[in-house]
């Protein structure tokens, strides 16, 4: 699957990918809007979870969302404690 720069094509491809629970390396990179090479690097560093099926890496959409959430600036690991 080639990612084209026209926004209509990207939107259509992301809609199709969102319907699938598992994404290939190329699909997952397009979903995150990063290069497949960088995603492979992040996977090798155990920053992103992937399953190897034969020669392919497969990514779960929820894991990709967790990866992005974990890297947001100002993220809070625990809910704030209530002080009365």
45 or 4, higher pLDDT: 45
Tokens of 44: 């090798």
What pairs with residue 52 in β-bridges? 57
Tokens 């960088």 identify what position?
38
Please give the share of the chain, as a percent, with pLDDT higher than 90.
60
CB 19 within 8 A of CB 11: no
Q: Count CA atoms closer than 13 A to 73's CA, side-chain side.
A: 0
Instruction: Map out the domains of the chain with their CATH numbers.
Output: 13-70 (1.10.1660)
Q: What pLDDT, in 10s, does the model give residues 54-80?
A: 999 999 999 999 999 999 887 665 555
Mean pLDDT, residues 45-56 taken together: 94
Phi, psi (degrees; rounded to nearest 5) at 60: -90, 130
């Amino acid at each position: 699957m080639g990612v084209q720069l026209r926004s209509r094509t990207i939107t259509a491809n992301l809609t199709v990918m969102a319907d699938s629970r598992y994404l290939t390396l190329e699909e997952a990179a397009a979903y995150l809007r990063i290069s497949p090479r960088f995603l492979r690097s992040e996977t090798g560093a155990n920053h992103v979870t992937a399953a190897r099926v034969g020669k392919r890496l497969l990514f779960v959409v929820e894991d990709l969302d967790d990866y992005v959430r974990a890297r947001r600036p100002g993220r809070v690991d625990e809910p704030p404690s209530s002080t009365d």
